[in-house]
Amino acid sequence: MQASEVPGASHARPGTLSGLRIGVTGSSGLVGSALLAHLRECGVRCTRFVRSAQRGRTPDSRIFDPRACVTGSAPPDLSGLDAIVHLAGASIAAGRWSRRRKTEILESRVLSTRTLAASIAQRAPLPLICASAIGYYGDTGEAIVDESSPMGRGFLAEVVREWEGAAQAARDAGGRVVHARLGVVLAREGGALHAMLPAFRCGLGGPVGPGTQGFSWISLVDAVRAIAHCIADDRAHGPVNLVAPDPRMQREFARALGRACRRPAIVPLPSPLIRLALGEMGRALLLEGAFVRPTRLTELGFKFAHPTLDEALRALVANPRA
C-alpha cells in the first residue's frame, strides 16, 4: 500500500519531525522518558499527558483521564498537536496475576486507548502511535512469526487483541493508527536487563526454564528511534513489530549476557520454581516466548543501531559510556 492509500496520511517522511508538536502518554516510564529525550533532540515540541493526581506537572503537560469515556469527564485536550504516542498502561510484571491484577492490566490499556481514539474521532484525524506487544503471538514454539501471523493463545494475546481493537474509532474517522508491538526492551536504566544484571555480574545468571523459548528483544535506543520513525513515515500503519532482526532462544540470550559481563552463565532458574513463585505471570513472561521478525520495520527502511544481540549487549553492558 502506498502512502497516498493510507487513511489520514500527511505525506510526512522520516526525518521530518522538527517543528512538530507531539503528545505522549506514559512519559515517565522507561520507553516514554527516553522517547521524550529523543524527540526533543529531533526538534519536536513535546506535550506530556499526565493524571491529575500526578506530581511534577510542568507547563507543557495536560491532564489525561484514561476513563473519560466511562466516567463522562472531560476528554483530553488534543488541540495544536500533530500526533499522539500512547505508551500508558499498568505493568504486566509488577506481581502475580490475580483476577484483580489482570483486570487492571486490561482496562488500563483498553480504556485509555478508547478514550484517545474517541477524542481523535471528534476532531481532525491525528496519527496515533499506540504501544502494543508481541504477546499477541502467544507461545510460538520454534515457529518464526511476523505481522502477517495469526493471533496466539493466552491472556496476553487477548489483552493485545482488545488493546488494538480499542483504537477503532480513530481508524473509522480516517486517522492513521500504528500498533507498535514491542518485544523485550533492553536497557540498563530499567526493565528486564536491569533486573538481571546484578546476578549475571556475580556469575549467578543462566538459562530460565527450558531455555528454548523464543526471546525477541530490542534495545531502548532502537525502540524510541522506531517509534519516531513510525511518527514521521505516513506509510506506517497497523501492527509494526518493534523487535531486532536477531531473535534468540532464551539460553542463547543468557550466554550472550554472560559473555558481555565476562562471567559464566550456567546457573539455571528451574521451571517448577518459576511456576511456584510467580504462577501464570511467570509461565507467560518467562517460560513461554516467540521468535518475532520486524518485517514491517524493514519494509519501512528502518536501520537498527543494534541489529544483533551481542552488539547490543556490548553497548549496554560492556561499554560504560553507552
Q: pLDDT tens digit string along 105-142?
A: 999 999 999 999 999 998 878 999 999 999 999 999 99
101: in domain: yes
% of the chain with per-residue pLDDT over 70: 91
194: in domain: no
Specify whether the CB–CB gap between 46 and 59 falls below 8 A. no
User: pTM for this one?
Assistant: 0.92
SS3 65: coil
302: in domain: no
54: in domain: yes
Specify whether the CB–CB gap between 229 and 300 falls below 8 A. yes
Q: What's the pLDDT at 5?
A: 35
Q: How confident is the model at residue 10 (pLDDT cuts 50, 70, 90)?
A: very low
DSSP conformation letters of 235-272: T--EEEEE--S--EEHHHHHHHHHHHHTS-----B-HH
SS3 285: helix
313, three cell numbers: 549487549
CATH number of 79's domain:
3.40.50.720
78: in domain: yes
188: in domain: no
Instruction: Average the pLDDT over 94-104 and give the result.
Output: 94
Provide long-range contacts, Cβ within 8 A and 24+ apart, for 74-77.
75/115, 75/118, 75/119, 75/122, 76/23, 76/49, 76/115, 76/116, 76/119
For 19: left if phi > 0, alpha if psi spans -120 to 50, otherwise beta; the answer is: left
pLDDT tens-digit series, residues 205-257: 999 999 999 999 999 999 999 999 999 999 999 999 999 999 999 999 999 99
Give, as one character, the DSSP assignment of residue 29. Answer: S
- Residue-number span of the structural domain to which 132 is assigned: 7-182+218-242
Instruction: Average the pLDDT over 43-69 and give the result.
Output: 80
Q: What's the pLDDT at 54?
A: 56
Q: How many structural domains does the chain have?
A: 1
Q: How confident is the model at residue 71 (pLDDT cuts 50, 70, 90)?
A: confident
Q: How confident is the model at residue 258 (pLDDT cuts 50, 70, 90)?
A: very high
- Strand pairing category for 184-186 and 217-219: parallel
Q: Please enumerate in sequence order all residues whose Cβ is within 8 A of that of 188, keeping only pairs 6 or more positions apart, or say none.
A: 194, 197, 316, 317, 322
> What phi and psi values does residue 13 have, to the nearest 5 degrees?
-130, 155
98: in domain: yes
3-state helix, strand, coil in the chain (%, to 5): 40, 15, 45
Instruction: Average the pLDDT over 3-16 and give the result.
Output: 42
- For the cut 90, the answer to whether the pLDDT of residue 69 exceeds it is no
311: in domain: no
